[in-house]
Amino acid sequence: MIKDTIVDGPGNAAHRSLYHALGLTSEETARPLIGIVSSYNEIVPGHMNLDKITQAVKMGVAMAGGTPIVFPAIAVCDGIAMGHRGMKYSLVTRDLIADSTESMVLAHGFDGLVMVPNCDKNVPGLLMAAARLNIPTVFVSGGPMLAGRVGGKKTSLSSMFEAVGSYAAGKITAEKLLEFEEKTCPTCGSCSGMYTANSMNCLTEVLGMGLKGNGTIPAVYSSRIELAKHAGMAVMEMIKKDIRPLDIMTEKAFKNALTVDMALGCSTNSMLHLPAIAHECGIDINLDIANSISAKTPNLCHLAPAGPTFMEDLNEAGGVYAVMNELSKKNLLELDCMTVTGKTVGENIASCPNLNPEVIRTIDNPYSETGGIAVLRGNLAPDGSVVKRSAVLPEMLVHEGPARVFDCEEDAQKAINEGKIKAGDVVVIRYEGPKGGPGMREMLNPTSAIMGMGLGNSVALITDGRFSGATRGACIGHVSPEAASGGMIGVVEDGDIISINIPENTLELKVDEAILAERMKNFVPKTKELSGYLKRYANMVSSGAEGAILK
C-alpha cells in the first residue's frame, strides 16, 4: 500500500507535506490512493465527455473508501488525423500512452487505477500500461456515439467518407454531401460502428478488464455515468481481494478476446493491439492462432461498416455479454477466467441472453461459420496480412487482377480521384508500414473513395500499412514483411497479377519465381528523412505481424 512507502512514519514527512499542498487531509492519505487516468480533451469527439465520466469515477472511488487522484493521458482522433501526415502520429501514441502512464504511476505509488479511455490507441495503450504495472485496475470507456440519420437511414463515419467518394464520382450533389457532413456524427462518443475504438472497448469487456456495458452503452446515456461510478467502486473491491491485471489477462482470456473478435467482426486493428497487449503480459499471440480460432468461430454480428446495425443496436440486443452467451452454447469460450467483477466470465454472462437475433445472430444461424477476420499468407505476405472478411462483398472473396502500385497513400488517392483505377485492379500502397510510414497509417480515404465510386465489387486494395475499422471491402493490410524492411511488396510492379483467396487464406504475387528472385536481389528499400519521435519509432518498431511493438 502507498501509505507503507510514502505516507507513514517520520521519514515520509516531506511526502506528507506535499500531499497537504494538494489539499489532501490526513484522512484521505490514510486511504488507498487511486489514480484515475483520464484521456479527456477537447479535440476528440470520443473524449469530450470524459470529464463527466472521470467525475463519476471519482465519486465511486470515494463512496467505496478510496482517495481518487486524476492525471491525464493523450489521445489522437483518427478521423481528424486521416489522410495527412497526422495519421503517422496515431499508432505511435499507443506506446507514448503506455510509457507515460507507467512513469506517472510508479513515480507516485498509486494503490490502484481506473483507466478512462475511449478512442483507438489509448485503449490498448492503457491496457499495455495496466499489464506492466500489475496493480488493481478497472477500465471504463466514454462510450460510443449514437448513429446519425440521413434520408431516414442510420449512418456512421464510414458513410461520411464514402459520401465524399460518391460526390467526387458525381453520384451525389454538394447539398447531399453537406447533409451527410451535418448529420453523420450527431453526438459525442467513439464513432458509432464496429470501428477500432469500439472494437477495443468491447474486447476490454471480454478480457475481463471492464464492466458489463463498457463497450456498448452510448456516451450520452445516463447509464454510462452509473457505469463509471461502479468502476470506481470495483477497483476498491479489487484492492481488497488483491485481484490484478495479470490475474485477469491470461492466455485463456486472450483466446476469449480473439474468439469474440471473430464473432463481432471487429476492426483489423485488433490484430495489432491484442498481440501488443499480450506481449506486455508475457503471452505470445501470433496470427496463426487468430486463423485457427477464426476457423471454428461463427460470425454473429454485422455492425457498420459490415452491415446496417450500430453500437446502440448491439447495446439494446444485450451487448458483448449476450454475444459471449451465444458463443458459450457451443463451448467456444473459457468460462473460468477471472474478471474485474471478482467473478468468472461464466458467472458474468450466465444471465445475459440475446435480446435481438437480428442484431446478434444465434449460434445456429450465423452470418458465416468462420470469423469476421482472416489472416492471409503467401509469397506477397509470408509473415501474414489481415482482412476484415465480414466486410468483404461475396464476389470479392476471391479476386485476381493487375497491380496498380503506389509508394504512398497520397499518390494512390490522387489516382483514384482522377478515375485512373479501373474495375478488376488491385491497388497496392506500400512504404506505409510501421517502419516505412513510419507509423502505419490507416487508409480510410482511398478505401472509402473506392466504395463511394461504386468500385467496391471489383477493386481490391493491399498495403503494408493498415485500414481503419470503418473500412469495408477487399482491403488487405498489415502485409509483412513491409516494403521498408525488404518485403516482397516492395518489388511489385504495375501490371503484375495478384491473386487473393480469402476463403483459402492466401495472397500471391503471380510472377515467375526466377523474375522475383532477380527483383529481390536488386531491391534496395526506399528511405525517408525523419526527425523527432518518428525517427526513434521507426528505428525501434517491429513488423505489423508482431503487433508493431517497440523493441
Q: Which of 508, 522, 523, 503 is nearest to 462 (CA)?
A: 508
- Catalytic residue numbers read 468
Tell me the helix, strand and coil percentages in the chain, rounded to 5.
45, 15, 40
Q: How far is CA 315 from the centre of its chain?
A: 18
Q: Please enumerate in sequence order all residues whose Cβ is within 8 A of that of 230, keeping only pairs 6 or more positions apart, or say none.
A: 60, 211
Phi, psi of 547 (to 5 degrees): 90, 10
User: For residue 2, what are the CA distances in angstroms to 57, 62, 64?
Assistant: 20, 17, 17
Any idea what the Cα angle at residue 492 is, between residues 489 and 493, rounded to 5°? 155
User: For residue 9, what are the CA distances in angstroms to 20, 28, 67?
Assistant: 16, 16, 20
Q: How far is CA 111 from the centre of its chain?
A: 28
Classify the phi-psi angles of 532: left when phi > 0, otherwise alpha if psi is within -120 to 50, otherwise beta: left
> What's 490-518 look like in SS3?
HHCCCCCEEEEECCCCEEEECCCHHHHHH
- Whole-angstrom distance, CA of residue 165 vs CA of residue 149: 19
User: For residue 373, what are the CA distances in angstroms to 234, 252, 258, 262, 457?
Assistant: 33, 19, 10, 6, 19
Q: Which helix (H) or strand (E) holds 291?
A: helix 287-296
C-alpha distance across the termini of the chain, in Å? 32
Based on the number of CB atoms within 10 Å of its own CB, is 309 exposed (0-12), middle (13-18) or buried (19 or more)? buried
Which residue in this structure is represented by grid cell 485503449? 123
Q: What is 3-72 written as a DSSP string?
A: IIIIISSGGGHHHHHHHHHTT--HHHHTSPEEEEEE---SS-TTTTTHHHHHHHHHHHHHHTT-EEEEEE
- Whole-angstrom distance, CA of residue 522 vs CA of residue 324: 51
- Whole-angstrom distance, CA of residue 141 vs CA of residue 139: 7
Please say whether the beta carbons of 253 and 333 come within 8 A.
no
Which residue in this structure is represented by grid cell 477471472? 338
Q: Which helix (H) or strand (E) holds 414?
A: helix 409-417
